Structure formats: C-alpha cells, structure tokens
Chain A
Amino acid sequence: MSGSLTDAAMFNGKPLPWVRDKVAVGAQSKLQAVYRDVVILDALNQRVTAYNLTNNNLGDPIKMAELRSLLVTQATLIDADHDALPDQWETQHFGNRSATAETLTRSGLSTLVCFATGLSPNSTTNTSPLALELGTAENTSRVSFFQRQRLGKVLGIQTQTRFSSDLQTWSDLLPAGAVLTRQNPYDGTGTEIITVTSPREERRFVKLHVTAPQ
C-alpha cells in the first residue's frame, strides 16, 4: 500500500474502520499477521486463517471467489442436531449439544430466545429481552420499545415485536406514526438493537415473538 494512512482520501467516505497499530499494542503480532494478510477471526475471536493479498490478487475473479468462500463458510451456521441452535453456540454455553430450543434457562427464558436476542443462557440476571422507555419529542409523549436480534441470517430464526391494544389481536405491523431504527452497538453480542418509537397511546401491549423453522 502506498501513500500514508494520514491521507484522508484513502478512507474518507468509506464506512470501514481504519486503525493504526502501535508498537506498544502489537495488534499485528497478536493476530500473527504478515504484510497484506487478511486475518479471519471466528465467533470466539479464534484465528481461523489468513489470506495474503500479495500471493492472491483479488483482481483475479477466482481469487476473489476464494476469499469470499472463506468468509461465507465461516459465517454459515451449522446445526447438525437440527434444534434451531447453532452447534458452536450450544457448545460454547453448555459444553455439549444437549439443549433444545425449548429448554428453559436459569433466567426462565427459553434457550431459543436467549440465542435470538444475544443473552447468555447461563446468566441468572437476564432482564427482559424487550425494554420500554417513555419520553417526549416535539411536545408529544412517545414510547420506545427496544429489542435485540441477531445480525445476519441465522438459521431462519425470526425475531419480531408484536403489538396489541386488547391482548386478543396481535400484529407485527408498526403502530401508526411509529418509526423503526436499527443500530449495531458492536458490543460483542452479535446482535443489533431494534427501536420502535411511536406516539404514546392510552393502552398498548407488546410482546417479543421468536420463531425458528420446524
């Protein structure tokens, strides 16, 4: 790479993070990288492999496909026991794959809900995966609901907030005037935060609905 990282033209307008290593930090050696390596880390931050861009010119469509395949392979979840829970996640938290989606965790939530919302199934202090906040904007009382859901496509699991005014009929359509926003907090949970903010109504019920393919 020529030029200097202080040259803003190299990164301005591009959404990717850029960082500059320091001798005192030694990120390059910690990731066992050599010049022009792409180092791939898995969900547990274990080093999977490195793909060197000097040896593999990404101008070659075959090399580009090769790198893409490495990334996609790592990002593809494996669920050998077909219980809607990724094997890696089960092993990480339970030491084996004996849990099922319906297994209740120590906090009383199902294992599936814990996985879908980024909560630890071993925590006894998990709060509700659906949170509420009241506020005011433009002189109007507003209510915001927060939920988390997994980034990317994860075994077809769907996480939705559903709304009702009578506890009889539920809808996943946003209430009138509601605004939905997404934010990746980059907090190592693999989830994004979904916020639905709407004008406050006299009565509204919400629930989190998590489903997995049969």
Chain B
Amino acid sequence: MRPRFPFLQLSCGLAAAAVSLGSAEPVADFVLPDVNPASVRTAAGLPSISPRNYTETISAWYFGAET
C-alpha cells in the first residue's frame, strides 16, 4: 500500500543560491518535527524543520513513503 506521504530532507545548505529559475512566490510555509535523533539539527537543539530554516541557501527535499 502506498502510504501517506512522509518525506525526508535529502540535503540542505549546500551554499547560497543562484538566480531563481522557479516560480515567483516562495513555497507555502510549514513546520514538522525532525524524527531523526542523529540529525545535525538535533545537535543544534532544533527539534522541528521548515523551509524557512534554509532560506539564503538551496535545499533539496526527498519525498519517500512508508508502507
């Protein structure tokens, strides 16, 4: 059964970004808890994650699924 859309942030903060090729508006905002206890963010005391944490850098978000 194809699940309910959990997702994983694949990588982030590679560097600052180039001129946008995307849409004119930023993506809608959201905040979700980071469930990986080994996450680099955990060490920074940040239990949740949002695209707003990665403005001024590029970020890549991978959408997998659980069954």
Contacts and interface: CB of A to CB of B under 8 A. Distances in A.
A31 B49 CA distance: 14
Contacts of A16: 8-11, 36, 39-40
Given A19-B7, A27-B7, A41 B27 contact: yes
Given A27-B30, A39-B61, A186-B44, A47 B22 contact: yes
A77 to B, nearest CB: 6
Contacts of B36: 11-12, 14, 16-18
A25 B7 CA distance: 12
Contact of A15 (B29, B40, B62): B40
Contacts of A76: 15, 18
B55 A188 contact: yes
Interface of A (DSSP majority class): loop
A20 B32 contact: yes
A34 B19 CA distance: 25
A17 B39 contact: yes
Interface in B1-54: 2, 4-41, 44, 46, 49, 51-54
A19 B35 contact: yes
A166 interface: no
Interface of A: 1-6, 8, 11-23, 25-28, 30-31, 33-49, 53, 71-78, 86-89, 118, 150-154, 183-191
Interface of B: 2, 4-41, 44, 46, 49, 51-67
